[in-house]
Amino acid sequence: MTKKVLFVCLGNICRSPSAEAVFKGIVRKKGLAGGFEIDSAGTLGWHAGEPADPRMQSHAIKRGYKLTSLSRQFNPDTDFDYFDYIIGMDDSNISNLRSMARTKDDLGKIYKMTDFSREFTFDEIPDPYYGGDAGFELVLDLLEDACEGLLETIRADL
Ligand code: 4NP
């Protein structure tokens, strides 16, 4: 069965589109792309329809990740039903997602990205939006680490 994974941040222009691209890259490299549907969304609608932040795009492309998705707002009425794993980037995303959950099943699909970290000990993917280059690099470092752990977890659940 296809596993459906949705990455969620605030604006869906920095962290979650990067998580989407990093995770897609990992599953593709391992020949597992056919087993996954991977998407991203934001709890905020402000940037709906926009491409990823150009700063995030330029840091990502240096590591071979092309950010192609357009921002969209998380939709509790469809996304909780459709996706198996709904993965927030920070505590604020998690509390927003939890407040939108309609059922216990919905709550059970919510995870935090850093729960899958293997090497890093951060407990959130920090919002890079108002900071400088180092924040965008840190996002990618944390996501590369946690996406490997996420794939291991999903494969163990199968
Ligand atoms: P993201 O970053 O949640 O990683 O996409 C942000 C993007 C936009 C804003 C905040 C964070 N904003 O306030 O517009």
Q: Indicate the domain borders of the chain.
A: 3-157
- pTM exceeding 0.75: yes
pLDDT, residue 52, reads 98
For residue 144, pLDDT beyond 90: yes
| Cβ atoms within 10 Å of 119's Cβ, excluding its own | 11
Model confidence pLDDT, tens digit, residues 125-136: 999 999 999 999
Burial class (CB in 10 A: 0-12, 13-18, 19+), 138: middle
> What kind of fold does domain 3-157 have according to CATH?
Rossmann fold (3.40.50)
* 158: Cα within 13 Å, side-chain hemisphere: 12
Model confidence pLDDT, tens digit, residues 80-137: 999 999 999 999 999 999 999 999 999 999 999 999 999 999 999 999 999 999 999 9
Rounded to the nearest angstrom, the gap between the alpha carbon of residue 72 and the centroid of all alpha carbons in its chain is 13
Task: Give, using CA atoms, the residue closest to atom 9 of ligand 1.
Answer: 11
Is 15 a catalytic site residue? yes
Which of 14, 15, 53, 147 does the annotation list as catalytic? 15
Is 127 a catalytic site residue? yes
Buried b (16+ CB within 10 A) or exposed e, 29-54: eeeeeeebebbbbbbbeebeeeebbe
pLDDT, residue 1, reads 84
Mutate to test the pocket of ligand 1, among 43, 44, 72 (most ligand atoms within 8 A of CB): 44
